[in-house]
Amino acid sequence: MANEDYYDLLGISRDASTEEIKKAYRKKAVQHHPDKNPDNKQAEEMFKKISEAYEVLKDPDKRATYDRYGHAAFQHGGMGRRGGGGFHDPFDIFREVFGGSGSGSIFEEFFGGGESSRGGSRRGSDLRYDLEIALEEAAKGAEKKISFRRAVSCDVCNGSGASPGSQAVTCATCGGHGQVMSQRGFFSVRQTCPTCSGQGVVVDKPCKNCRGEGRLTKNSNIKLRIPKGVDTGSKLRSAGNGEAGIMGGPSGDLYVVIHVKEHEIFERHGDDLLCEIPIKFTLAAIGGAIDVPSLEGKVSLKIPPGTQSGTTFRLRGHGVPNLRSSRKGDQLVRVHIEVPTKLNNEQRTKLEEFAVACGDAEHPVGDSFFEKAKRFFD
C-alpha cells in the first residue's frame, strides 16, 4: 500500500474537510464492502485499503503526520496503528462513520436494521389508528371515544417479566451486551443475542401472568379531542398510548389518522366548501332569493335577474375553520338552471307567446354565438 496515496484512494482533495472525508469513505466502503461483493478478493482488498486510509485521515494528528512524512511515518509501528501493529476491526470505523455500536451486517446499520437496545428496558412501539369522522365534526371539532388493542404493562410483575420475588439477571450468552459476535473470515460480525433477543438480561423465573414478556395485549379505550379544521390525512398524536415498553421501558405513542367522510351536499376544497344547487329557469330570469344550506344552518342567497347556469356565488366565512389559525374558509354556491321536461298545453302556449315576444322564436340561438357562427360560415 506504500505506493497508493490515501487521498487518491478516497477520491478527495488534500484540503478536504473531516465531513468530506467521512462522506467519501462511506460511499467507497458501501461500494467495496464484502457483503455486497461476496467471494471478490479484489473488493475485499480495496475495502481494507480505504479503511486504512480513513483510519489515518480522520485523525487530525495522524493526518498532519501523513501529509508531512507520507507512509513512512506509519511503518514499523510508527504512530501506532491501534494495537501497535496489524489492522484493527474494520467495523469500528463503520461505527464511527455510520453511528451506533454495530450490527449483524453493515447493510443492516446503513439501511435501517440497527442494533437492539441493551440493558433490558426498551421503548414500546408506536401505534396507528384510522378514524373516520363526518364533515361537520371536522369543521366544528368533536370528542371521540376510540377502542383498540395494544400491549399494556403486566399488573402482576409491573412490566419486569419476573415472578414476584424473582429478578432479571445478566444474559450469560452475551454478557449483558444484547449482541453476540461471530467471525466471518476477516470480519467480526455482531448479531442480536438469540437468548435474550437483544435485551441483555433474562429472568430466572418468568411471570406466569405474562409468561415473562412483561406485557399483555388488552383492549384500551381513550377519549380523543378532534380540533376544528382537520382534514383527511391529518395526524393526531396521543402521547403514551402506544404499546407499553419492554422490561419497564416507556410506552410508545398512538397516532390517529383522520379520514373525513364524503358529504351528500358539500364538497371540500381546503378550507372552502362547494355546494351545487339547481334553480328554476324562471328564478334565474327574474331574480329572487333562496335559502341555501350551510354548516351553521340556512343562509339566504340573492339571485340576480338574468343569472346564467354555472354562476358561482361566495358566502364569506361559511366554510371550514383553518386548523392552524382563526381564519375561516368560504362557502361557494354554484347554481344550475333546471329546464322543465314536461309542459301541459297551457304552459306550452304561454311559453310560445313568451318566445315570440322576446324574439326567441326567430333567433333560438344566443346572439353572441350566432355572430361567431355567422363569421365562421362567411
Answer yes or no: do 251 and 139 share one domain: yes
> Residues 54, 25: contact at Cβ < 8 Å?
yes
In a domain, 205, yes or no: yes
The domain spanning residue 320 has which CATH number? 2.60.260.20
Number of helical H runs and strand E runs in the chain: 10, 15
Answer yes or no: do 159 and 255 share one domain: yes
269-326: pLDDT as tens digits: 999 999 999 999 899 999 999 999 999 999 999 999 999 999 999 999 999 999 988 8
For residue 176, count other CB atoms closer than 10 A to its CB: 17
Answer yes or no: do 226 and 143 share one domain: yes
Select from 253, 257, 212 the least CA-distant residue to 124: 253
Task: Using CB atoms within 10 Å of the CB of residue 334, give its burial: 0 to 12 exposed, 13 to 18 middle, 19+ buried.
Answer: middle
CA–CA gap between residue 235 and residue 68 (Å, rounded): 57
Note down the domain range covering 25.
6-111
Answer yes or no: do 32 and 87 share one domain: yes
Answer yes or no: do 311 and 202 share one domain: no
Answer yes or no: do 335 and 348 share one domain: no
pLDDT of residue 1: 41
Answer yes or no: do 58 and 158 share one domain: no
How many CA atoms lie within 13 Å of 225's alpha carbon, on the beta-carbon side? Answer: 2
In a domain, 121, yes or no: no
The domain spanning residue 223 has which CATH number? 2.10.230.10
pLDDT > 90? residue 39:
no
Answer yes or no: do 192 and 277 share one domain: no
Answer yes or no: do 94 and 143 share one domain: no
CA–CA gap between residue 274 and residue 266 (Å, rounded): 6
- How many structural domains is the chain composed of? 4
In a domain, 369, yes or no: yes
162-211: pLDDT as tens digits: 888 777 788 888 888 878 877 665 566 778 888 777 777 787 788 888 88
Give, in order, the Cα–Cα distances in Å from 280 to each of 105, 207, 306, 355. Answer: 73, 75, 12, 17
pTM higher than 0.75: no
